[in-house]
Chains A and B, each alone.
Chain A
Amino acid sequence: MTSTTLTPTLPTSTPAPASAPTGHSAQRYAVADAVTMTWRNLLTYVRLPQLLVFSTIQPIMLVLLFRYVFGNSIALSNPTIDYVDYLMPGVFVQATVFGALGTGVGLAEDLNKGLVERFRSLPMARSAVLAGRTIADAMRNAFVLVLMTAVGVLVGFRIHGGVPAYLAALALVLLFTFALSWMAATVGLGASNGEAAQAALFPLVFPLVFASSAFVDTSFMPGWLQVFANHQPVTVTVDAARNLVLGQPIGWSVVGSLAWSLGLIAVFGPLAVRRYRRAS
Chain B
Amino acid sequence: MSPQAAIRAQALTKSFGTIQALAGIDLLVPTGTVYGLLGPNGAGKTTAVRILTTILQPDAGRAEVLGFDVTRHPQVVRGSIGLAGQYAAVDENLTGRENLRLVGRLTHMPRDQVLPRADELLERFGLTGAAQRPVRTYSGGMRRRLDLAAALMHRPPVLFLDEPTTGLDPASRSDLWRVIADLVAEGATLLLTTQYLEEADRLADRIAVIDRGNVIAEGTPAQLKAGLGGTVIEITLEDPAAGVRAATLLERFATARAGSAAGDGAVRLDGTSLDITVDDGARTVVEVLRALDGAGIAPAGLAVREPSLDDVFLSLTGHRADSESPDAENPAGEDAGQLARGAA
What residues make up the interface of A, taking CB atoms closer than 8 Å to B? 1, 5-6, 9-17, 19-21, 25-26, 29, 32-33, 36-37, 40, 43-44, 47-48, 113-115, 117-124, 128, 280
Contacts and interface: CB of A to CB of B under 8 A. Distances in A.
Contacts of B79: 17, 19, 123
B107 A123 contact: yes
B155 to A, nearest CB: 7
Interface of B is mostly: loop
B231 interface: no
B150 interface: yes
B94 interface: yes
A113 B99 CA distance: 14
Nearest to B88: A114
Contacts of B80: 16-17
A140 to B, nearest CB: 14
B234 to A, nearest CB: 39
6 A-B pairs with the lowest CB-CB distances in the bound complex, closest first: A11-B187, A118-B89, A114-B89, A123-B78, A17-B80, A14-B157
B338 interface: no
B94 A40 contact: yes
Contacts of A20: 76
Interface of B: 1, 3-4, 31-32, 50, 53-56, 66-68, 72-73, 75-76, 78-81, 83, 85, 87-95, 98, 102-103, 105-108, 134, 150, 155-157, 186-189
A120 B103 CA distance: 12
Given A9-B3, A36-B102, A124-B107, A47 B134 contact: yes
Given A10-B187, A118-B85, 6 more contacts: A1-B1, A9-B31, A14-B187, A16-B157, A21-B72, A40-B94
B66 A36 contact: no
A108 to B, nearest CB: 14
Contact of A120 (B54, B76, B105): B54
Nearest to B76: A21
B31 A113 contact: no
A47 B134 CA distance: 8
Contacts of B32: 9-11
